[in-house]
């Protein structure tokens, strides 16, 4: 058994080519090649553009990561790659590259779940995960509440978005307000200049007994409020809209996460995913966890967004736990179930 395996992680689920190299729980390199500027003029990610960008960036980004880590391909103990969920074409580029590296190097290949990787990345910063813990994952394509006993074993989904994910709602509201793409950072930045109590936007499913969340109605409510202002010839207070919208999102997310911890008797909450970099989400989660006696963990913002480090971190844990690797004919699964940590 290898206690401190050296693992190359490849992440291509959306618009960023992420290559990470991890030894055990130590991050050696986290190289990213983003194609976000190529998508900005379309107001969102274009799958074909993303796939071509991954293809062009793969080899040079791997080379950059190896140089940063001070290792060679021959030193690797395993290769891990995001097998899903994500954009099918983008996933295929990463999976094909991972297969080639694993076959050429004669090392195990692990096709891993993107969501489980977002959970595993926190070990690089804070050490072993509390077992069990509740995980609030919020990103552009998913909003999920998970119960995690061991990140190398199937994760237990408690709740998820029933329509627009949180990050998707941020992007759509940003587009409505003319803030460009990606929308999350722009809304977060402007929200600091606004009044989060200025507009009483709805909290969909806030009192629902489930742990599911919904943001489609909130997005529509913001659009109608802005349209009413414009129709009346009144200026739109963009900062107040951003602050009030953001508060509605993080209010529901953190309330449900804390309730899940209480009802499940779990004393730790972990934040993950791109939207976990949001300042107000982290702040409100911290306040509510402190009030409830719950220990909060969150990776630094740079590790919340999609990256190869998280894939390598999960791959390293899988190798150390002696989990059987994937076969070389593993597929790219755009709808990979969160219960499947490793694709066979």
Please tell me the predicted confidence (pLDDT) of residue 250: 97
Please tell me the predicted confidence (pLDDT) of residue 46: 79
Region 147-151: what's the mean pLDDT?
Answer: 96
Same-domain pairing of 285 and 315: no
Residue 248 lies in a domain: yes
Please tell me the predicted confidence (pLDDT) of residue 72: 98
Residue 221 lies in a domain: yes
Region 256-277: what's the mean pLDDT?
Answer: 96
Same-domain pairing of 56 and 98: yes
Distance CA 129, CA 119 (A): 9
Residue 215 in contact with residue 165, Cβ under 8 Å? yes
Please tell me the predicted confidence (pLDDT) of residue 192: 97
Same-domain pairing of 82 and 108: yes
Residue 40's pLDDT band, with cuts at 50, 70 and 90, is low
Q: In percent, how much of the chain has pLDDT > 70? A: 98
Residue 316 lies in a domain: yes
Same-domain pairing of 153 and 219: yes
**pLDDT per residue over 193-234, tens digit each?**
999 999 999 999 988 899 999 999 999 999 999 999 999 999
Residue 263's pLDDT band, with cuts at 50, 70 and 90, is very high
Same-domain pairing of 136 and 226: yes
Same-domain pairing of 13 and 77: yes
Please tell me the predicted confidence (pLDDT) of residue 79: 98
Please tell me the predicted confidence (pLDDT) of residue 188: 97
Residue 164's pLDDT band, with cuts at 50, 70 and 90, is confident
Average pLDDT value over all residues in the chain: 94
Residue 1 lies in a domain: no
Residue 263 lies in a domain: yes
**pLDDT per residue over 72-90, tens digit each?**
999 999 999 999 999 999 9
Same-domain pairing of 255 and 156: yes
Please tell me the predicted confidence (pLDDT) of residue 189: 96
Q: Select from 282, 299, 316 the last residue of a domain.
A: 299
Q: How many domains does the chain have?
A: 2
Region 18-45: what's the mean pLDDT?
Answer: 85
Residue 236 lies in a domain: yes
70 contact partners, CB below 8 Å, separation of at least 6: 28
Region 111-136: what's the mean pLDDT?
Answer: 96
Please tell me the predicted confidence (pLDDT) of residue 50: 85
Is pLDDT of 1 > 70? no
Burial class of 220 by CB neighbour count within 10 A (0 to 12, 13 to 18, 19+): middle
Is pLDDT of 170 > 70? yes
Distance CA 223, CA 217 (A): 10
Q: 143 lies in which domain range?
A: 129-299
Q: What is the CATH number of the domain that holds 323?
A: 3.30.420.40
Please tell me the predicted confidence (pLDDT) of residue 12: 97
Residue 16 lies in a domain: yes
Region 298-308: what's the mean pLDDT?
Answer: 94
Burial class of 279 by CB neighbour count within 10 A (0 to 12, 13 to 18, 19+): middle
Same-domain pairing of 166 and 271: yes
Residue 312 lies in a domain: yes
Please tell me the predicted confidence (pLDDT) of residue 173: 96
Same-domain pairing of 102 and 249: no
Same-domain pairing of 153 and 231: yes
Of residues 182 and 155, the one with the higher pLDDT is 155
Alpha carbon 246 to chain centroid, angstroms:
18
User: Structure pTM?
Assistant: 0.94
Same-domain pairing of 171 and 280: yes
Please tell me the predicted confidence (pLDDT) of residue 207: 85
Residue 344's pLDDT band, with cuts at 50, 70 and 90, is confident
Region 143-151: what's the mean pLDDT?
Answer: 95
Same-domain pairing of 269 and 318: no
């Amino acid at each position: 058994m290898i206690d401190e395996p050296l693992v190359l992680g490849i992440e291509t689920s959306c618009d960023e080519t992420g290559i990470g190299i991890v030894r055990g729980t130590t991050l050696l390199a986290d190289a990213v090649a983003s194609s976000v500027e190529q998508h900005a003029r379309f107001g969102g990610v274009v799958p074909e553009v993303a796939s071509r960008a991954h293809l062009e960036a793969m080899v040079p980004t791997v080379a950059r990561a190896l140089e940063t880590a001070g290792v060679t391909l021959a030193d690797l103990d395993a290769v891990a790659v995001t097998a899903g969920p994500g954009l099918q074409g983008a996933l295929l580029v990463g999976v094909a590259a991972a297969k080639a590296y694993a076959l050429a190097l004669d090392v195990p290949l692990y096709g891993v779940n993107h969501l489980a990787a977002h959970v595993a990345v926190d070990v690089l910063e804070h050490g072993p995960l509390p077992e069990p813990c509740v995980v609030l994952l919020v990103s552009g394509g998913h909003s999920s509440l998970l119960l995690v006993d061991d990140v190398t074993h199937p994760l237990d989904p408690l709740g998820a978005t029933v329509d627009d994910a949180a990050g998707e709602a941020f992007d759509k509201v940003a587009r409505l307000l003319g803030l460009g793409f990606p929308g999350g950072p722009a809304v977060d930045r402007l929200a600091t200049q606004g009044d989060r109590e200025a507009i009483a936007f709805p909290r969909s499913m806030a009192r629902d007994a489930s742990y599911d969340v919904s943001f489609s109605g909130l997005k529509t409510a913001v659009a109608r409020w802005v349209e009413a202002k414009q129709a009346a010839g009144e200026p739109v207070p963009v900062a107040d809209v951003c602050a009030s919208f953001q508060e509605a999102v993080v209010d529901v997310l953190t309330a449900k996460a804390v309730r899940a911890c209480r009802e499940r008797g779990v004393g730790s909450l972990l934040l993950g995913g791109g939207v976990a970099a949001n300042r107000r989400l982290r702040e409100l989660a911290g306040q509510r966890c402190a009030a409830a006696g719950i220990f909060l963990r969150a990776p630094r913002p740079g590790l919340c967004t999609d990256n190869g480090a998280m894939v390598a971190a999960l791959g390293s844990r899988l190798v150390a736990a002696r989990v059987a690797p994937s076969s070389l004919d593993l597929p790219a699964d755009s709808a990979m179930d969160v219960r499947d940590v490793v694709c066979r």
